[in-house]
Amino acid sequence: MEPFSWSSGVSNSDFEIRNDGYLGNSSIRCGLVLDSLKGELVEAPAKLERKGVSAERTIEALKNHSEAEKRRRARINSHFDTLRNLTPGAKKMDKASLLAEVISHLKDLKRKTAETSEDCAIPKDFDEVKVEPEDEMEGRPYSIRVSLSCDYKPGLLSDLRQALDALQLIIMRAEIATLGCRMKNVFVITACNEDKVHARSIYQALRSVLDKFAVSEQFIGATLSNKKRRASVFIP
């Protein structure tokens, strides 16, 4: 039993015809390819024999084509290499995994930059206290990032600092951004001792400081704070 047959398209006469000095593109091959749908070897679609094209020109074109394709592959692969070099730990990684890694890296960086610019750039219009774990602080584990937006008030910062001191926390980093009368404050803190830092108590301590200042404002009067509030609107 024969699974396929040579007889149909690849007869001797076929070869003789194709050997007369004029070649179609695919007549270099014998014309048998695997048809993966049918699962058998079939005759390749017959090409027109171009009567006006010489074999030399066809070979020349074919050579140019394959060389151009080679250059294209080289170009792409050099970019792959570059990516491998500037992606940490992605050396000797196959193309698919490398691309996946690059994608996640890209998303990561995008997220991080968005976060940092949100972090420090512009105080929010509304008051906010945020307490979240900070994973990437070298050395100290269990450090915590606190960010809060509020109106600027004299004495508020030192009160905040005292509140954190009372909880026996070390301030690793402090950033303050102001815009108009608004203020944004970012702390990175760890515990003095090796105890775990309790986000909830930090939040409550800071919140109560802010509340204290908010209450004091109610007695001062609304006209001043209105003016201040308006000041925060006029700059991007």
Q: By C-beta, is 76 or 199 nearer to DNA?
A: 76
Whole-angstrom distance, CA of residue 226 vs CA of residue 221 = 9
46 vs 16, 58, 204, 235, CA distance in Å? 15, 17, 81, 72
Q: Angle 96-99-105 (CA atoms, 0-180°, nearest 5)?
A: 140
Q: Which does 53 bind (CB under 5 to 8 A by kind): DNA, its own copies, none?
A: DNA
3-state secondary structure of 183: strand
- Is position 8 an interface residue for its own copies (rule: CB under 8 A)? no
Pick between residue 1 and residue 200 the one whose CB is nearest to its own copies.
Answer: 1
7 vs 2, 11, 13, 47, CA distance in Å? Answer: 12, 6, 11, 18
122 binds its own copies (CB under 8 A): yes
Measured between its terminal Cα atoms, the distance across the chain in Å is 82
Q: Smallest distance, Å, CB 196 to its own copies?
A: 20
Q: What is the DSSP letter of 151?
A: E
Under rule CB under 8 A, residue 220 binds its own copies: no
Q: Distance (Å, rounded) from C-alpha 164 to C-alpha 170? A: 8
Kindly state whether residue 11 participates in binding DNA, applying the rule CB under 7 A: no
Task: Kindly state whether residue 52 participates in binding its own copies, applying the rule CB under 8 A.
Answer: no
CB of 177 to its own copies, least distance (A): 5
Residue 95 lies near its own copies (rule: CB under 8 A): yes
Nearest-approach distance from CB 176 to DNA, in angstroms: 49
Residues 132, 206 contacting (CB under 8 angstroms): no
Q: Select from 28-36, 118-126, 151-159, 201-209 the region that touches DNA (CB under 7 A).
A: 28-36
Q: Of 53, 90, 120, 167, which lies in the binding site for its own copies, with binding defined by CB under 8 A?
A: 120
Q: Which of 139, 147, 131, 150 is nearest to 199 (CA)?
A: 131
**Residue (50 or 107) nearer to its own copies, CB:** 107
Please say whether the dihedral angle defined by the alpha carbons of residues 218, 224, 229 and 232, taken in this order, is positive or negative: negative
Ranges within 60-99 binding DNA (CB under 7 A): 61-70, 72-74, 77, 94-96
Residue 32: Cβ within 10 Å count? 14
Q: Name which position in 82, 162, 168, 216 contacts its own copies (CB under 8 A).
A: 82
Q: Which is nearer to DNA, 63 or 173 (CB)?
A: 63
Closest CA to 182 of 220, 130, 221, 225: 225
CB of 166 to its own copies, least distance (A): 18
Chain contacts with DNA (rule: CB under 7 A)? 25-26, 28-29, 33-34, 36, 45, 47, 50, 52-53, 61-70, 72-74, 77, 94-96
